[in-house]
A = this chain, B = another copy of it.
């Protein structure tokens, strides 16, 4: 049956990739960092704990769904901790764990590389686009 075979092959490929990700720490870390809002949340929390609504305001453009999802993932990964104060209304604070703080210097390194080299990338892109545009 062609359909089933194709689906199975797809599943195999997916698992091959997952297996790779599972054994490759760098890949796992990149997956975490590149989560659309994770690095933003991480740097937002760099200077102290914040409430959910404060985070939502600082990370302009994030939807409530994605903010919650991002924070959950980061909590699960041990990068942030979540503290509920059972007042009325409830108050929830997020703060970096030591592990999360440990990640900040790496983000800094990424930022530094980017600040130094991204204009070269920009220039390369423009040059590339000019080349392509001038080709019929």
Contacts and interface: CB of A to CB of B under 8 A. Distances in A.
A58 to B, nearest CB: 12
A118 B13 contact: no
A113 B99 CA distance: 11
Contacts of A32: 121
Interface stretch (A47-55, A87-95, A104-112): A104-112
Interface in A73-117: 75-79, 99, 102-103, 106-107, 109-111, 113-115, 117
A28 to B, nearest CB: 6
Given A34-B31, A76-B125, A99-B117, A26 B110 contact: yes
Given A13-B61, A106-B110, A128-B75, A118 B31 contact: no
Nearest to A75: B128
A114 B31 CA distance: 11
A75 B26 CA distance: 23
A98 to B, nearest CB: 9
A29 B99 contact: no
Interface in A6-54: 13, 16-17, 20, 25-34, 39
Nearest to A121: B77
Contact of A120 (B26, B99, B117): B99
What 3 A-B pairs come out closest when comparing CB atoms?
A78-B124, A34-B34, A25-B114
